[in-house]
Structure 1
Amino acid sequence: MTTASESELLTHVGPGTPMGSMMREYWIPAMLSSELKADAPPTRLKLLGEKLIAFRDSTGRVGVLDHRCPHRCASMFFGRNEDSGIRCTYHGWKFDVEGHCLDMPNVPSHMAFPEKVMAKAYKVQERYGIVWAYMGSRAEAPPLPCFEAAMLADDSERNLFCVQRECNWLQGLEGDIDTSHFSFLHMGAMEPADVDQGTYGRYALINRAPEYHVADTDWGTMYAAYRPAETNSTYWRVAHFMFPFWTIPPDGHFADHVIARAWVPMDDTHTMFFHISWKKNTPGLRNKKDGTRIPGASIGNKYLPNDSSWLGRWRLAANATNDYLIDRDSQKTESYSGIDGIHLQDQALTESMGEIVDHTFEHLAISDLMITRTRRRILQAARAAAEGITPPGVDNPEVFQGARGGDFISPNSVGWLQAYSDELRISKNPTGVLRVAAE
C-alpha cells in the first residue's frame, strides 16, 4: 500500500519538490521539433509546473525561456520573434535563446545595463525530432538519453507523436507497466479461437491471469509476465520502466520491438505523452484470424485543433467531456470497453481515476507487482537525489541500451533473465546500440 506521504512525494513535480528536482537532472522531452518554425510566434509551454515559452529564432536555434520578461514580468508570449531573439512588446527589451539581454530600447544608451540582465533560459538540444530541455542545476548538462528508440536516426523510419493526458504523470505511466489489463480492457471480448493460432497474443487470451518476475535494473525496473505456451515452453511479455518517466511496453514481438514512451509532467494534473517507435516493428495483437480488425483496436489519434493556451496542445477529440465516445451497444456485443482505440481506452481509464489518484483507496494484488516495485524504486531514487546522490542513468545513459520489451516464447529449462538475454542477442538492432544486459 502506498501511504499518503509517499503518494504526495511521487505525484508532485513542481519546483522545489523532491520528484521535480530529480526529474530536472535529466533531459526532458519538451515538444516536437516540428511544432516550432523560424521567426514564428512563440508557443506557450508547460513543463514540470513551470510556465515557459518556446521559440525558434531566425537562425533556427530554439529557446525555452520563463515566460516572464525579467524587466517587469510581462509575458513574452506576446513578444515579437525577430532577428535572432524574442522582444517583449511591453518595453522592447530583447533576449536571445540563451537568455542574454540584447537590447533595452526604452533606456538611454548610457544608462542601459544589458550585460547584467538575463532571462531565465534552459539549455536546449534538438535530436531525433524532439526539442529536449535541461532544467537542472548543473552548469554543464549531462549527456542526452541514448536508449534504443530515441536513437533512430532516420526520420522516415520513426513514428513520433504526442498526446496530452489530463491526469498525473504517474497514473499514465503505470498503465504502460500493467500487463494484465491488456486481456480485459483491450481484448476482453476476444476468445483464443478468434485469433490466429500462431499469434503470440493468443496466450494472453488463453490465460488472463499471468504470473510475474520483477527486478530492479540499472535503468529502473523490469517485469516478465509469464504463462504456459506449448509443451515445455513459456510465453513471456517483458516491459520496463526507465528513469525518470520512460516506459518500454510489451505490445509487440520482442525481436523488433523498438519503442519508448515518455510520460512528461506538464504539471501535477496534466501529462504530455511522447511515443517513439520504429516503423518496421511487428505490431501486437490487433486482427482476428480472418484479417479483420479486432473491435476497439483501431490505431491513430483524432485531435482537437491546437490553441495558444497553456494546455492547448495535442488534446484528443474524444475525451472526458463526451465520455470518450463510448458505444454502449458495441460494448454489449463486440468490444469489452465500447471505446475505439487502444490508446484512447487507456486514456479514458487513467483519467477516470481523477486528476491525481488517491492511492490510499487502492487494494493492490500480485498483478500489481511491477507497479509497487516501480513506485518503491522511484521513491528511493528521489530521496537519494535529495541527499545529493545522482539519479540512475543521468551520467551513464548507456545503461538504458540494455532495455528491450515485447513478447517471445522460450523453453521452460531457461530462466527468465537468461531467456531475456538470449532474445537480446538474436534481436534486430536498427540503431546499433542494443546490448545484452549481462555484458
Structure 2
Amino acid sequence: MVTLSETVRAQQPSVLADLARLVAIPSVSADPARADQVQATAAAVVQLLTDLGCPDVRQVQAGGGHPAVIARFPAPAGQPTVCLYAHHDVQPEGDPSLWSSDPFEATVRGDRLFGRGTADDKGGLAVHLAALRAFDGRPPVGVTLFLEGEEEVGSPTLAQLLAENREQLAADVFVIADSANWEVGTPAFTTSLRGLADCVVELRTLDHAVHSGSYGGVVPDALTTLCRLLATLHDEQGNVAVAGLATSTPPDLDYPEDRLRAESGLLDGVQQIGTGTVVERLWCKPAIAVIALDATPVDRASNTLAPVARAKISLRVAPGDDARAATEKLILHLHDHVPYGAQLEVTPGDSGEPSTIDFAGPYAEVARQAFATAWGVPPVFLGQGGSIPMVADFGRAFPAATILVTAVGDPDTRAHGADESLHLGDFAAACVAETLLLQGIADLHRS
C-alpha cells in the first residue's frame, strides 16, 4: 500500500512545475506598474485550485488592495477546519545583475531552486497545494486556503479582509507557512516574532544652502546634524538607546557566532553590535536601523552646507511590546536629542505588532509529531527577528484557534535578496509534514 509520504514525494515534479509557473509571474505588490501581475498570480492560483476540484474558490479584495484568494474544501462530518495561509505577492527583484539567473525563471542549481518567490512565499503556497493533491482534492478535514496578495507591503487591508470574510476564514487551526527553518534538514515552529515600525525624519538648519567656506565652523549643516542625531539611537556597544522599549525572555537555544557570521555575510574584522546572547539580540530585543538617507549624492557634491536632510528609520519591536507605543517613544527620543536646536519633523509610517505564539494543545502535538516524522528529526522552536504582522491579526480575529507558524525557507534562502532560493529536500519534507498534519488532525478526531 502506498503511504501518504510516498504519494507526496511522487507528486513533487508536478508541484515544482506549478511553482515554476507561479515564479514566472512578477507579482511585485510594491510596484504599481505590476498590479496586473499580482492579479495574474491570483488568477493562476484560482485555476490551480479549480483544477484540483475545489468547490468554492474566489478572489476577494478590500479597500482597493491587491487580490487575495479564498478556497474552501468543506469538512467531513465531525471534523475540524484548518486554514492554510501563504501569500502570492513577492518582493522586488532589485538589481538583476546581482542574480546568477533570471529572478523570474525558476532555476535548479545543485539541491536548490532559485528565483524570486521560490521560498517567500510561493513556496509556502506550493506546500499547501502538495498537501491537497496528496488527498486528490478531498482532504480528511475541512481546509480553507487563504492566499494573500499584499503581505510584502505590510498587509494594509488584511484586517478588513478578515473582518469582511470572518465566517469563511474561521478555523480551528491556522497554518502560516511564511517563516524560516532552523537550518537545512531541521524544521522549526516560530513561537515569537518582532514587530515593525518606521518613520521618516526631516531635519533643517538653514533656509537655503550656503558656501561651506564662508560659514563652515559656525553654521551647522543639516546632514552632519542629522548624523549626530541618528548616532544617539545606540549606545557605544550598539544597544538601542531609546528609553522604555520592552524586551522578552529568550529561548534556550544556542546560535553560534561563526554560524551568524557566515549566514549574515558579516565581513572579517567587523564586530557584532549589542550585548546579550545572539538569540536574545535577534529575537527578543528591539533593533533600530537607518534604512534610507536623502542627501546630495557624492557625484553631485559641492562645497555647500546642506539646509535639509532626511532619513528613514526602521524599528523592530520586541515581543510583548506595542508597536504604536514603541513608535511614540522613538519619536520622543528624536525630539529630545536633536542637536543645535535644529528644526525636526518626524512622520510615522507603517507599523505591525509583534507576536508570541503559544505552541500548546492537541493540534500542536499532532504538528510536532508530523514534522518530526517528515524530517526524521524533532522540530526546533525559535523566534524570528523579522516581522509577520498578520500573525497578530489572526490571533486577534480568532483567539481560540491554534496558530502554527511553519516554513519552507532556511538561513541560505536569502529571502528579499538576490538569488533567493528553496532547498528542494526541505521543500519535499515540508510537503510531507503538512500532509501528515492534516491526516493526524483527522485521526485525532476519529479517536
Q: Give TM-score scaled by structure 2 length.
A: 0.23
Higher helix share: 2
Q: TM-score, normalised by structure 1?
A: 0.23
Higher relative contact order (CA 8 A, sep 6+): 2
